[in-house]
């Protein structure tokens, strides 16, 4: 009788937990599959110094090799910028530039997935530049067509505690993009979205006092900044 009882108990445990284990294994496989998630580490490289950038290097912070010069045979003049698309998916990057006539600067441990530009020199952005590209990243003179990523600016007089942005084709809002942070009046937040041919986004904010607001079907492929008012 005891043997029968143990056999029934074992059967019930397997019936209950085997599907769960299978589900967990399936999820692990999806997470491990290469190329499933699109990198969001694209950014503007901006030269706001009074010197010409002769060479530029972009690499993952987890490797020690800078890789090739992404400018190739070209340079990045004063007041110019280029759109950089790294050829790897890491978010945390190291960036190094060297100037004509000597000298260099670096930006280490940059979270490229959380910013829209990396500026050398004073803050701000210049006009587009037309230059070539090396093997470390793909660069282009302007914002690529069909890219809905943008900078969200709080143009109200109230502090925002939650920001949700998703493509209009998505069925839900996704996570709060501020996390544990808040967005004070005038502050900006880089919004990275996948370039999948959709240019309209939905936005929702929640203020510190609990009030909420929404914008639906906002076209962002043609803008670099959206001011929430």
Structure tokens at 148: 């809905």
End-to-end CA distance of the chain: 74
Identify the CA nearest to 80 among candidates 151, 6, 29, 131: 131
What's the pLDDT tens digit per position in 148-174? 888 899 999 999 999 999 999 999 999
What's the pLDDT tens digit per position in 19-41? 444 444 444 443 433 433 445 78
How far apart CA 141 and CA 131 sit, in angstroms, is 7
What is the average per-residue pLDDT within 190-200? 87
Q: Rounded to 10 degrees, what is the CA torsion of 60, 65, 68, 69?
A: 70
Exposure of 229 by Cβ count < 10 A (0-12 exposed, 13-18 middle, 19+ buried)?
exposed
Q: Which residue has the tokens 């109230």?
A: 158
pTM of the model: 0.46
What's the pLDDT tens digit per position in 58-68? 999 998 888 89
pLDDT of residue 128 exceeding 70, the answer is no
């Amino acid at each position: 009788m005891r043997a029968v009882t143990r056999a029934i108990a074992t059967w019930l445990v397997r019936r209950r937990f085997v599907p769960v284990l299978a589900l967990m294994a399936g999820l692990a496989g999806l997470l491990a599959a290469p190329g499933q998630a699109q990198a969001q580490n694209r950014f503007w490289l901006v030269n706001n110094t009074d010197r010409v950038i002769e060479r530029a290097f972009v690499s993952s912070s987890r490797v020690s090799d800078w890789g090739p010069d992404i400018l190739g045979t070209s340079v990045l003049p004063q007041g110019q910028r280029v759109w950089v698309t790294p050829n790897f998916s890491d978010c945390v990057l190291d960036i190094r530039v060297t100037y004509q006539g000597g000298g260099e600067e670096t930006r280490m441990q940059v979270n490229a997935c959380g910013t829209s530009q990396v500026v050398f020199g004073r803050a701000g952005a210049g006009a587009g530049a037309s230059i070539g590209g090396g093997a470390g990243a793909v660069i282009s003179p302007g914002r690529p067509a069909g890219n809905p990523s943008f900078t969200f600016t709080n143009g109200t007089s109230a502090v925002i505690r939650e920001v949700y942005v998703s493509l209009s084709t998505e069925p839900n809002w996704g996570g709060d993009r501020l996390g544990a942070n808040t967005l004070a009046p005038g502050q900006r937040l880089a919004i990275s979205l996948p370039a999948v041919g959709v240019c309209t986004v939905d936005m929702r904010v929640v203020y510190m006092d609990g009030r909420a607001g929404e914008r639906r079907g906002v076209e962002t492929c043609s803008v670099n900044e959206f001011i929430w008012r």
